[in-house]
Every structure is written in structure tokens, then in C-alpha cells.
Amino acid sequence: MLYFPGVLQSHSALKDHTSSLEAALAQREGSAVELTSHVHEQMIAKDKEVEEFRTKVQEMGEVIAKEKQNVKDVKKQASLRLYHL
């Protein structure tokens, strides 16, 4: 068996470098999964917030419609009272 110290040394260095790259990749993949999860949670929270705002706007629109009707009713009552004077 022939012994080539440079080849073994290069092979060992490549294995070490490969291990370092795999570790860095695993860390980045973990970070990507974490970030994706965080973004998903934020999107769900924003969707919920938007839905709450839509509900509030709808409720406010209903209150405004009722108030407009009340104003019309009061004007009608006032005009009838003036008419009967």
C-alpha cells in the first residue's frame, strides 16, 4: 500500500470543511424554518386583526344608518308638529 501524506491531509481537510459546511447549512435551514413559522404566525395575527377591523367598521356603519334613520324620524315628527300648529 502506498502512502501519500498530502492526499490524506487534503482528504482530511476536505472532510472537515464538508462537516463545517453541513453544520452551517443545518443552522441556516433551522433559521429558515423558524423565520417561516414566525412569518406564518404574524400573517395569522394580521388576518385576525383585519377581520376585527372589518367587523368594527360594519358595526359602525350600522350605528350610523340607525342614527340617520333617527334623524329622519325626528325631522318628520318636527315637521308634523309644525304642520299641526
Q: Given this model, what pLDDT does residue 4 score?
A: 65
Amino acid 79: pLDDT: 87
Give me the pLDDT at residue 85, please: 63
Q: How far is CA 54 from the centre of its chain?
A: 16
What is the pTM assigned to this prediction? 0.59
**Rounded distance between C-alpha atoms, residue 43 and residue 56, angstroms:** 20
For residue 22, what pLDDT is reported? 97
Q: What is the pLDDT along the chain (85 residues), one digit of tens a residue?
A: 456 667 778 888 999 999 999 999 999 999 999 999 999 999 999 999 999 999 999 999 999 999 999 999 999 998 888 777 6
Residue 62 has a pLDDT of 98
Report angle CA 61, 63, 69 to the nearest 5 degrees: 105
